[in-house]
Structure 1
Amino acid sequence: MMHIRWFGQSTFLISGERTVFIDPFGDMDGLAERGLRFDYPPIEGVEADLLLVTHEHVDHNAVEVIGGSPVILRSTAGTFESPVGEVIAVASEHDEVAGTERGPNTIFRFTLDGLRLSHFGDFGQVELRAEQRQAIGELDMLLLPVGGGPTVGGESAAAIVRALRPRLVIPMHYRTEAVNFLDPPGEFLAALGARVERLDESELEVEQLLGTAEDPTVALLAPPS
C-alpha cells in the first residue's frame, strides 16, 4: 500500500517498498521580509531512501533536513538508477520564456510499488512539449502545481492532466492559509471538471483513490498544520 504525506508547497514523502522524498524546504523566514507568508510546519525527523530536488530554490532544495543518507538526484536531466529503480528526469523550465526568468526545472518520473508517478516541480512552461510528454509516458499518479504565479495556473495545469491521462492527480503549490503568494486551486478544479476528493488530512493511501485514465480522481489534501 503506497502512502503519501504532503508537507505543503511541492513537498512530499512517498512511502511504499522504499521511501522517496521530493522538494524539501528549509528555513523560509527570509520570505517575510518581502511580505510573503510561508507558514508550513518545519520538516523534522524524516528519513528517505531517495531524495529528489526539482530545482535550486530554497522552498525545494533543503536536502539537509532529510535523514537516512538518501541517494540524491538534484536538478538534473537524464535516466538514472536509484533505490527505487529507474528514474527519468525530464528537463523543463520554471517560466514561460525558456527559463530566462526563473531558471530550469526537472520533471521526475519513476515507478514505486508498481505505480507510475510523476512530480512536476515548479513547471512554468506555456504547455508541455511533445518530447516531454513522450519521455514521461503513461502515468498512474501526477503531482502537479496549479497555483499560477511562478508556475502553471489552472487552465494550463488542466491541459497537462488531459494530455497525460493519470488515474490520480494531487494538486500542489497553491494558496492555502500558510501561503499567500499563489492562487487557490479552484480555477484548476473548474477547468479540469474531474471528480474531486477533498480530504481532511494531509496524507492518503493511493490505492484507495485511484480512478481511471478516462475518469481520474483529484485528491485535494488538507494543508499540514
Structure 2
Amino acid sequence: MIRIAVAVALVLFALPAAAQERRASHCIAVAEQAPGLHYLHRASAAGPERLWRAHEGTHAAGGTASHTEPLPENTVRLHFIAHASFLLRTHGGLTAVTDYTGFIGNTALIPDVVTMNHAHETHWTANPDPAIPHVLRGWGAAFGEGVDHHLDLGEMLVRNVSTDIRSGFGGADEPKGNSIFVFEVAGLCIGHLGHLHHVPTDEQFAALGRLDVVMAPVDGGYTLRLSDMVATLKRLRSSVVLPMHWFSGHSLGAFRAGMADEFAIVDQGAPYIDISLATLPDRPTVVFLQPAWLRDE
C-alpha cells in the first residue's frame, strides 16, 4: 500500500500545474447530468422592469463607450456589437468578444479573449490581432476533430461545447465544427450558441449545464430553424435570452411570437445591459438589444 501511495504521489507531482489546478465548472451540477431535465433557476426579487430601468439614459445615441465605464462588483456588461459579436466586460476589466471578425468598431480596445466559429466568414477571421492574448477557435485543427477549451483567467472561466455544422446549401457537413462558448463569471453562466445548426443532444445539454444568460441566433434560416430554436431556448429556460444573428424584422417578429407565451419580452432600446445574480429577472425574459459598434470617446 505504501508503494502504491508513493507511486500515485509521484504521478501527481509529475503532472503540469495547470492539470492539477483545472477549475471545475460551477454551471454544471451533478443533478443536471441526467438527460432531459429542465434546469431550475433561483428566483430573485428583481423582475424584468429592474433589468432595464437601472440603465435608462446611460448610453449615447449612435454609439457608446460602454467598454470603459466602471462596473459594480459581481456585474457583467454585455454589449451587442453586431451580427453575432458581443463584448463581455467584468468588474475587474477583463474583456471577451464572441464570434470575432477582426473589427469591433472605432476603438483601441484589445480584448483579452476572442472566440470564433467558422461556419461563415462573418463569425471569424483568419488574421486576428496578434496582440490579443487568447484566441479561441471553435473548431479543431483537423476536420471534424472538434476542440476542448478550458481557459481559466481567475475572474472568468471560458469553456466550450462542440456541435455540428450542417450545410443546407450544398456544402460539406462538419462534425464538431461549431462551438457553444460558455463564460463563467461573477457567479453567472453566460452562453453564446454560435452558428448553431441543430438542436443539442441530451449529452450536449448536460455539458452546457445551467445558462443564466444565452445569446441565440434567430435568423431561422442560416442557423437553426425558428421552431427548433424556440424549443431549445425553452428547454434551457435561461433567465435572460439575447437574440442575435437576425436579418429582418420578420424573423424577429416570429421569434418574439414564439417565445411570448413563456418569456417576458423587453425592448432595451440600447446596445447593452448590465447583469448580476442579484438582478436576474424572476421570470425568463427575452431582451432585444440594438447593436452598435464600440467607440472610444
**Bin of the TM-score, shorter chain as denominator length:** 0.7 to 0.9
1:74 aligned residue: 137
**1:3 corresponds to:** 77
Matched, 1:121 2:201: no
SS at match of 1:135: helix
- TM score, norm. by length of structure 2: 0.61
**Which residues of 2 match residues 61-210 of structure 1 at below 5 A?**
61-62=124-125, 64=127, 69-76=132-139, 77-83=147-153, 84-95=155-166, 101=172, 103=174, 104-125=177-198, 127-176=199-248, 184-193=251-260, 194-207=263-276, 210=280
Change beyond 3 A, Cα 1:86–1:206: closer
CA distance in 2, matches of 1:63, 1:82: 24
TM-score w.r.t. length of structure 1 = 0.79
Distance 1:159 1:8 in 2: 25
Q: d(CA) in 2 for partners of 1:63 and 1:21?
A: 16
Gaps of 5+ in 2: 1-74, 140-146
Distance 1:54 1:61, change over 3 A: same
Match of 2:288 in 1: 220
Displacement, 1:71? 0.9
Contact 1:147 1:173 in 2 (8 A): yes
Does the CA contact (< 8 Å) of 2:88 and 2:97 recur in 1? yes
Which residue in the other structure is 2:87 paired with? 13
Contact 2:157/2:185 (CA < 8 Å) preserved in 1? no
- Point out the structure with the larger strand share: 1
Superposition deviation, residue 204 in structure 1: 1.4
Give SS of 2:251's match: coil
Q: 1:149 offset after TM fit, Å? A: 1.7
Query: How many angstroms does 1:222 deviate by?
Result: 1.1
Greater share of residues in helix: 2
Q: CA deviation at 1:105?
A: 0.9
Which whole-Å CA distance do the structure 1 matches of 2:240 and 2:125 have between them? 27
CA RMSD, 1 decimal: 2.7
CA contact (8 A) 2:163 2:179 kept: yes
Q: 1:120 to 1:78 in 2, by over 3 A?
A: same
**Would you say how many aligned residue pairs link Structure 1 and Structure 2?**
203
Q: Unpaired runs of 5+ in structure 1?
A: 28-40, 178-182
| 1:22 matched to 2:90 | no
Percent identity (aligned)? 25
Structure with max Cα Rg: 2
2:82, 2:102 → 1: CA distance? 12
Give the Å deviation of 1:91.
Answer: 1.2
Greater length-normalized contact order (CA 8 Å, ≥ 6 residues apart):
2
